[in-house]
Structure 1
Amino acid sequence: MFENKERTDIAELGEFGLIKHLTQNFKIQHESSIKGVGDDAAVLDFSEQQVLVSTDLLLEGIHFDLAYVPLIHLGYKAVQVNLSDIYAMNGVATQITVSIGISSKFPLEAVEDIYKGIELACNKFNIDLIGGDTSSSKQGLVISITSIGHAKKEDICYRNGAQEGDLLCVSGDLGGAYVGLQILEREKLIFLENPQIQPDLEGKDYIIERQLKPEGRRDVVDLLAQLKIKPTSMIDVSDGLASEILHICTQSDKGCTIYEDKLPIDPVTYETARELGLDPTVCALNGGEDYELLFTIKQADYEKLKNDVDISIIGHITDKNSGCRMISKSDVVHELKAQGWNAFKK
């Protein structure tokens, strides 16, 4: 995929030359970033705040397919999936470190594209790049990003705080990233069979973007702060809605009831799922990679949130003995099961 571009061998720069080249345009934006790239370790000062840290690993062939994932989008997404974990703690993300393993097939220009995507995400979400590492890789492209943020102790949300009667809320809409992935996989197979056929993505822009360029929901954290709502629990929807609901219920030692007709599904997601012979509800429950925020609030906070069109109340928390269940559109009760992404599934 790099034949038509000017090609510079990474070995010409060496490790430290490569790091300097890739990070020279990144600017420090936070007072908490005392020292960023360029020394043996970064230096951070968060004063009275508690520090939040999260790490994600993205592996070529497991988490992404370069047959249809542009490298700029990959860099952007790699940052977003990490920032989402900080936002899921009701915190503010401020710094990242980036480590990459690169195989010999990648010229400098390809790695520059990855860092362009990283820089776009840093600029949009006000993030400092403060360090990382580079290495050669015999297993394809590897990207590891650590995100760092902060929050006041009393503002941090964990998964284990849901109480009986709390309302289950989710931001945005669900299933789009998974259905977008199915479209990309379909077009890849068609291309492999006949490279002369152009991809048919007309009308699918929204769900393709949901897969290739997700957005961390920092705005939801800001909204909750403005409305003076402290969620009783929170998690990001990375592995599928059902899986995340079960995480909250398990760690909070509670059950739940959700309603199929309350699940937020975009019309393009719904229609495309049907075209592909998929159940839109299953896509919403088990698709994953939506990176929306799932959280519980006290019923007393309902009035503050009820008119926000970007937040859907999909159910409520029950006692543990009631189990975790979904009421279908036809009033049939289904046990809620996690069938989404499994990092170790072969």
Structure 2
Amino acid sequence: MSENRTELSQLGEFGLINRLAQGISTQNHSTVMGIGDDAAVINAGDQYGLLAADMLVEGVHFDLSYVPLQHLGYKAISVNVSDIAAMNGNPEQVTVSLGLSNRFSVEAIEALYEGMKAAAKAFHVDIVGGDTTTSKSGLIISISVFGKVEKEKVTYRKGAKVGDILCATGDLGGAFMGLQVMEREKQAFMANPDMQPQLENYEYIVQRQLKPIARMDIIHELAEFGVVPTSMIDISDGLASECLHLSTNSGVGIQIYEDKIPIDRQTYETAVEFNLDPITCALNGGEDYELLFTIKQEDYDKIEKHEDIHFIGHTQELTKGNSLVTKNNNLVALKAQGWDHLNDQKEDN
């Protein structure tokens, strides 16, 4: 029996998902897309329904020694809404399931829900149910989100064609650097409990980590401009990892340019302070929850002047691979080195 045992760490998160998906088939004609994208797609009459779920586990995804419960509640809803945004859809309902230990008071859970209600209001979604149970391993939050999208506007990871323009919203690497700052301050506090956290000059990146905002604003603006992306994904595991997902699903190569990757000044300066390469932080940091998408070349003029959409590369023949063009015009192969939850280390693919 032990000879046939495969450790989870051998497969990693995405390897496990792929292996389990091989044994799953759909039985209902209404299931349009199952496992393999940011959300499942369900036929719902004249529109498609969208269904996504995410789980946040204490000690894996968050540390309550420095994460306020209200911020955590907001983030839990926002990161799920981001999956609906990545399908070019609009969220409508969420369910909230919690695993709670007896160390939490009713007031603490109410604070968590205050954040959830604030996010629900911001993204125009209804909290319609869920479940609660006892947890012996800390706080567990499981969110399911339901949304809709017009059939002709649904956007998958698999739609990019050779010659499409690659776009990223916002700026990248900030959430990762915010986490580094908070971890540093935690260690300093543990060594000296009388010390006050030094978060001045880091407000933006700390906020990027604690309270990411799903880019529904971009989805609405793309609709106003008459632009339907050819493929899209949200940036949860780092830019490099998401580029490779689009490449694999669409069957195209991707080339991005170092000098086009959007990095906020505070992110850049903090990375240098930590002796980290800002570009590496943007490529592999994760948790930015921005959008990465491709558009047809003829749609470029429609969004060319948008201040928060950045044109960072293009698609090419799959045989040319996936690469980063450095400022010195050197080609570096893109590798996914984001966090793997089942491997407890950076993945390297």
- Give the TM-score, by structure 1 length: 0.86
> What does residue range 22-61 of structure 1 map to in structure 2 within 5 Å?
48-61=46-59
Supply the AA of the counterpart residue of 1:111.
Answer: I
Partner residue of 1:21? none
Tell me whether 1:223 sits opposite 2:221 in the alignment: yes
Name the SS of the counterpart of 2:293 in structure 1: strand
Alpha-carbon separation, structure 2, partners of 1:153 and 1:341? 33
Alpha-carbon separation, structure 2, partners of 1:139 and 1:315? 43
Query: Does the CA contact (< 8 Å) of 2:80 and 2:145 recur in 1?
Result: yes
Partner residue of 2:235? 237
Alpha-carbon separation, structure 1, partners of 2:273 and 2:241? 25
Question: In structure 1, which of residues 134, 142, 145 is the aligned counterpart of residue 132 of structure 2?
Answer: 134
Query: Does the CA contact (< 8 Å) of 2:169 and 2:309 recur in 1?
Result: yes
Name the SS of the counterpart of 1:207 in structure 2: helix
Deviations 1:4-37 (Å, cap 9, x if unpaired)? Answer: xxxxxxxxxxxxxxxxxxxxxxxxxxxxxxxxxx
Q: Which runs of 5 or more residues in structure 1 are unaligned?
A: 1-44
Instruction: Give the drift of 1:106.
Output: 0.4
Name the SS of the counterpart of 1:132 in structure 2: strand
Alpha-carbon separation, structure 2, partners of 1:342 and 1:330? 31
Alpha-carbon separation, structure 1, partners of 2:154 and 2:207? 30
Alpha-carbon separation, structure 2, partners of 1:241 and 1:120? 28
Alpha-carbon separation, structure 2, partners of 1:341 and 1:291? 15
Alpha-carbon separation, structure 2, partners of 1:52 and 1:335? 34
Supply the AA of the counterpart residue of 1:123.
Answer: K
Instruction: Give the drift of 1:69.
Output: 0.2
Deviations 1:44-86 (Å, cap 9, x if unpaired)? Answer: x965321000000100000000010000000000000100000
Q: Which runs of 5 or more residues in structure 2 are unaligned?
A: 1-42, 345-349
Alpha-carbon separation, structure 1, partners of 2:163 and 2:45? 37
Partner residue of 1:250? 248
Name the SS of the counterpart of 1:203 in structure 2: coil
Question: In structure 1, which of residues 250, 267, 272 is the aligned counterpart of residue 270 of structure 2?
Answer: 272
Query: Does the CA contact (< 8 Å) of 2:95 and 2:127 recur in 1?
Result: yes
Alpha-carbon separation, structure 2, partners of 1:109 and 1:315? 48
Partner residue of 1:176? 174
Supply the AA of the counterpart residue of 1:175.
Answer: G
Alpha-carbon separation, structure 1, partners of 2:301 and 2:267? 29
Deviations 1:122-155 (Å, cap 9, x if unpaired)? Answer: 1111110111000111011000000100011111
Alpha-carbon separation, structure 1, partners of 2:88 and 2:124? 16
Name the SS of the counterpart of 1:80 in structure 2: helix
> What does residue range 279-298 of structure 1 map to in structure 2 within 5 Å?
279-298=277-296
Supply the AA of the counterpart residue of 1:147.
Answer: V
Alpha-carbon separation, structure 2, partners of 1:343 and 1:226? 37
Partner residue of 2:21? none
Alpha-carbon separation, structure 1, partners of 2:137 and 2:303? 47
Tell me whether 1:72 sits opposite 2:74 in the alignment: no
Partner residue of 1:194? 192
Supply the AA of the counterpart residue of 2:188.
Answer: I
Partner residue of 1:90? 88
Alpha-carbon separation, structure 2, partners of 1:256 and 1:247? 10
Aligned residues: 302
- Give the TM-score, by structure 2 length: 0.86
Name the SS of the counterpart of 1:330 in structure 2: coil
Alpha-carbon separation, structure 1, partners of 2:137 and 2:326? 44
Deviations 1:212-244 (Å, cap 9, x if unpaired)? Answer: 000000001001100000100000000000000
Query: Does the CA contact (< 8 Å) of 2:89 and 2:148 recur in 1?
Result: yes
User: Rg larger in 1 or in 2?
Assistant: 1
Instruction: Give the drift of 1:310.
Output: 0.2
Instruction: Give the drift of 1:330.
Output: 1.2
4+ residue runs of structure 1 moved beyond 3 angstroms? none
Alpha-carbon separation, structure 1, partners of 2:340 and 2:91? 26
Alpha-carbon separation, structure 1, partners of 2:341 and 2:216? 25
Question: In structure 1, which of residues 248, 261, 286 is the aligned counterpart of residue 259 of structure 2?
Answer: 261
Say what the alpha-carbon RMSD is for the aligned residues.
1.0
Alpha-carbon separation, structure 1, partners of 2:46 and 2:155? 17
